[in-house]
Structure 1
């Protein structure tokens, strides 16, 4: 396979420069990244179909790319653009939507697949404009943007597919007689093929995103791309072999042990497969973890959580270095801000919180956010960094909140304290686990709820659902006041955390600044609800 078609004709709603041409990381744009990935995988013939601001794409003709203009882009959709590539396509091809950012493994595996047609899908993102996918016996049975039409959502389309020449010709024939010129190519693909002609590859925990508006582009530039950089940052395999040798001193550690990097925000995580086929997750602490996390506390608290059966079994933990090996969860799906707000997942999250908060277990440490903030301020000073502009002015108002919380009443229970959705892992059996107990400690359970709602941007209905299920009835006004206060505190704490990390050489885009800005806004809401 040597051919690819890239669709880039759509009119942008909020910019005069198409998002595929806007630089986001080291001057690279989405289109350049896609072209690089395609060429690295042996694609020689590339057809680029454009429409909106077509003149901006013309320089690509100098790179040997065939640029085709959809003059009717305002009155048609993706199938019309795909049809315009017909004179230049004479074999199976890779089809890419140019506003999509994805890991290069997607193209690599599609090209390597033996299927004539092959769709790529990943876990539901919760973005709001997903092309949902239902599957049956390893094939895609339904594609729709209306979640009400699907009984079981397997995931969503990524926007990168492999299309056979025969299927393409059938799509062209059907489109030639279509009265609806706004039809998208994926629906014609379904119409023109049997279910068994629509195999798919599912990429779990993929770093990717579609860019439809300025918010999406900001997300790409400041969050998604830095995450990919951290994941793709070269690692020393020999060092990892040395870690594994320490964990398994009697084993012959070497190339027969398969290692795959799978990301992580502040740490590096690796999927490890032994020659015998045993699967593990190896966690290597990231930059500037020293001083922030007391590993002996994490060790004790994490093992207590294992006994509660809410944390996967831990095979090895080094309390001095933070090196950890835990069992790999078969069929694991990392939840995200969208999937965690499915009803079944929310029910399991509440059940986890009930087990944890009501366990009567005493964790090894107290996690007092105000004390942690003082510690982080000291670490930031030692690292030679500085807080965001405006912090010094806000700081007195932040510490006054300690008295406010004490007046409202503070409960001290075992808490997780780091409730990003990626710390919830759903196994193939449907059971949800809560992982990464680095910041765990005795705290107010409302701080856990504050973090949960904040990190996944819970909507009001889902907040009410979770709290009502947890309290098994009426939720007091005091509960919501405390949650709002803790949301200010979490944003302030993690903004300082980011400053420390970046002072040590890490890069989190605008993550920390955005959290600080949100804290300023939430602080005003706190003042209002307490009046």
Structure 2
């Protein structure tokens, strides 16, 4: 059946006994096209007296929508900070929760077999099962792979299937019970755009997609897979899925890569029909009352600490996402700030009281005067934003000198916190966790571990002073402002430690050469380091490398991919273990 005849037959299904003029108005086809289609459908036995026959129903059956899949697993990191508290699809926009509105629209179109694929904060979506009768599928790889992993989870459910995003606001219900063929929704962009722009050939078939373009139709909103598309795409997905280069790909990337094999057309919608929100400011433009009505502890915290109104908060966007926390930029009438939201499980890793004490001391010392407030119980923090900041180059001698001077200033501050940190103790803890997974049969491991034990005995005999250390002291935790002022940020791991901890961390994580290590050590002391000081600090490079090497082995054993850092940690541990022991054994 051609598209014209399908369109007319489907309209008669929805409007039995409609006049041909009415069908033309419903479908946008010309009256002549409707007349021709009516004749052909009648001759084929699909229509009788402008109503579907049994054969007509049978002819439409292959085009019947079987189900819908709503993708709701992602982090929505661009929608910080609200996405730190709840998934974006559960936000209430113009009085309706986004995913609920979309489920109702699907059900109103007669599509009741709906699967919601969840991942990030998955438990927030479970209520939909009882409220709407949807099926929940969990994507456990949502953080390590892109949205193609969600489709992999439901590959057997792909047939005549709508693929939807949980956080779209569809102005008018676009869903139909019967669909002609696979399509991707699109809206038109006048002028230059960074969107994924669609090129089409005969019969509106999509022939190419480019990221960025001008005066073009671009991908936006829901998609429809027909059975033919689903069959081919499922095969492609199974082949591509395990490849390392596929991990960060969208399913659309796979579609574009195999676009010649996958038959899909464009479906054009007027401007404003499909609404996606990539930022808080975009959402506020669509729903001006959103901020005032949003249920958000984060905005309550900001309002309380800064004494501003929620309506003042704007220019919100995510900053770098660390291993333990999430951070975003925001602006009020009084300036620019950073909101740090603690990651899941950080309460087990971080002593927030110790962090607050360290932050206050760092501000007093002028090491980090960006600090404004932290809640020690819940771990959220507000700091001043440093505009146009850059990070130091650890291989630039002058910049490393500045870092070392700040390190010495911290160590001589006399500050005291509850938290303690010791590389050797931490390494033993990682080793015990690793042994729970089985014997460590790495060649040379036992010999190196024994020498680490020997090194620790020498280190303890030094009776080196304990002081407040940053314990994550390397260039990524420094900022340099436009006036060349240095800030040492991220004090979560600060604690009372051997003073050489920070030097050891810096040497390993900045990947300093041997000459750079020696020069930085002299810069720390402001003079030539003594033989004892060299041995002690070399030992802490070895201990830092060893500790993080064991951490990396544990992560690899748990299925995480550490990459080149596994070797970097090992290499620094082994090299400086040999150097430090050589000095100690000679009796210095």
Q: CA deviation at 1:235?
A: 11
Closer/same/farther in 2, CA of residues 314 and 241 from structure 1, 3 Å limit: farther
Alignment check: 8 A CA contact 2:422 2:497 kept: yes
Q: For 2:573, which of 516, 519, 523 is the aligned residue? A: 519
Query: CA offsets per residue over residues 252-299 of structure 1, 9 Å max, x none?
Result: 437953322221431344332234252112222335434332121111
For 1:468, the equivalent position in structure 2 comes to 522
Q: For residue 493 of structure 2, what is the aligned residue in structure 1? A: 439
**CA gap 1:403/1:352 in 2 versus in 1, 3 angstroms:** same
Cα distance change on mapping 1:354 and 1:398 into 2, 3 Å: same
Q: How many residues align?
A: 319
Q: What is the CA–CA distance in structure 2 between the aligned matches of 1:276 and 1:523, rounded to whole Å?
A: 54
CA distance in 2, matches of 1:346, 1:435: 16
Matched, 1:243 2:309: no
TM-score normalised per structure 1:
0.50
- The match for 1:403 among 457, 464, 467 is 457
Q: After TM superposition, give the deviation of residue 456 of structure 1 in Å.
A: 1.2
Distance in 2 between the 1:458 and 1:492 partners?
16
In the TM superposition, what are the counterparts of 1:18-29 in structure 2 within 5 Å? none
Equivalent position of 2:474 in the other structure: 420
Alignment match, 1:279: 336
Higher RCO (CA-CA < 8 Å; seq separation 6+): 1
Correspondent of 2:376 among 319, 327, 339: 319
- 2:379 partner SS: coil
User: Does the Cα contact within 8 Å between 2:549 and 2:566 map onto a contact in 1?
Assistant: yes
- Tell me whether 1:304 sits opposite 2:361 in the alignment: yes
The 1:293–1:378 alpha-carbon spacing in structure 2 relative to 1, beyond 3 Å, is farther
CA distance in structure 2 between the partners assigned to 1:302 and 1:381 by the alignment: 36
**1:432 positional shift:** 0.6
Compute the displacement of 1:431 (Å).
0.7
Residues 395/314 of structure 1: CA separation in 2 closer, same or farther (3 Å cut): same
Give 1:435 shift: 0.9
- Is the CA contact (8 Å cut-off) linking 1:241 and 1:253 kept in structure 2? no
User: How far apart are the structure 2 equivalents of 1:262 and 1:344?
Assistant: 28
CA distance in 2, matches of 1:44, 1:492: 54
Query: Which deviations, in whole Å up to 9, do the C-alpha atoms of 1:141-193 show, x marking residues without a partner?
Result: xxxxxxxxxxxxxxxxxxxxxxxxxxxxxxxxxxxxxxxxxxxxxxxxxxxxx
- Take 1:387 and 1:326, find their aligned partners in 2: how far apart are those partners? 44
Deviations 1:435-459 (A, max 9, x none): 1111112222222122212211223
Q: Take 1:268 and 1:476, find their aligned partners in 2: how far apart are those partners?
A: 39
Give 1:139-218 correspondences, 5 Å limit. none
Whether 1:354 aligns to 2:411 is no
Where 1:399 maps in the other structure, the secondary structure is helix
Shift in CA distance, 502/385, structure 1 to aligned 2, threshold 3 Å: farther
Structure 1 residues 357 and 426: CA distance shift in structure 2, 3 A: same
Provide runs of 4+ in structure 1 moved above 6 Å.
Answer: 234-240, 378-382, 384-388, 500-506
Shift, 1:424, TM fit:
1.0
Distance 1:275 1:514, change over 3 A: same
Assess if the C-alpha contact under 8 Å between 1:413 and 1:443 holds in 2: yes
1:465/1:39 CA distance change after superposition, 3 Å: same
CA shift digits 1:370-389 (9 cap, x unpaired): 3333445567789x799895
CA distance in 2, matches of 1:387, 1:263: 35
Counting only pairs closer than 5 Å after superposition, residues 489-504 of structure 1 correspond to structure 2 as: 489-498=543-552
1:261 corresponding residue in structure 2: 318
| Counterpart Cα distance in 1 of 2:439 and 2:390 | 37
Contact 1:388/1:516, CA 8 A, preserved across alignment:
no
In structure 2, distance between residues paired with 1:235 and 1:378: 44
5+ long unaligned stretches in structure 2: 1-143, 147-192, 201-206, 215-243, 249-276, 281-290
Partner of 1:454 in structure 2? Answer: 508
Comparing 446-455 with 359-368, greater Cα deviation is found at 359-368
Give the secondary-structure state (helix, strand or coil) at the position aligned to 2:318. strand
Larger radius of gyration: 2
1:198-231 Cα distance to aligned partner (Å, 9 max, x none) = xxxxxxxxxxxxxxxxxxxxxxx99xx99xxxxx
1:12-23 counterparts in 2 under 5 A?
A: none
Alignment of 1:22-61 (within 5 A): 40-42=195-197
Judge conservation of contact 1:310–1:434 (CA < 8 Å) in 2: yes
* 1:329 aligned onto 2:386: yes
TM-align CA RMSD: 4.4
Tell me how far apart the structure 2 counterparts of residues 236 and 330 of structure 1 sit (CA, whole Å). Answer: 20
Mapped to 2, the partners of 1:240 and 1:498 lie a distance apart of 39
Q: Is the CA contact (8 Å cut-off) linking 1:259 and 1:270 kept in structure 2?
A: no
Deviation of residue 309 (structure 1)? 0.9
Q: Determine if contact 2:504/2:542 at 8 Å carries over to the other structure.
A: no
Aligned to 2:346: 289
In structure 2, the residue matched to 1:178 is: none
TM-superposition CA deviations, 1:457-505 (whole Å, max 9, x none): 2234433433333323221122222222111211232234456667888
In the alignment, the residues of structure 2 paired with residue 435 and residue 316 of structure 1 have an alpha-carbon distance, to the nearest angstrom, of: 14
| Counterpart among 391, 413, 419 of residue 365 in structure 1 | 419
448-457 or 426-435, larger mean C-alpha shift: 448-457
* Alpha-carbon spacing, 1:497–1:294, altered in 2? closer, same or farther (3 Å): farther
Q: 1:453 to 1:386 in 2, by over 3 A?
A: same
Q: Which runs of 5+ in 1 are unaligned?
A: 1-24, 28-37, 46-62, 66-103, 113-220, 227-233
The residue aligned with 2:396 is 342
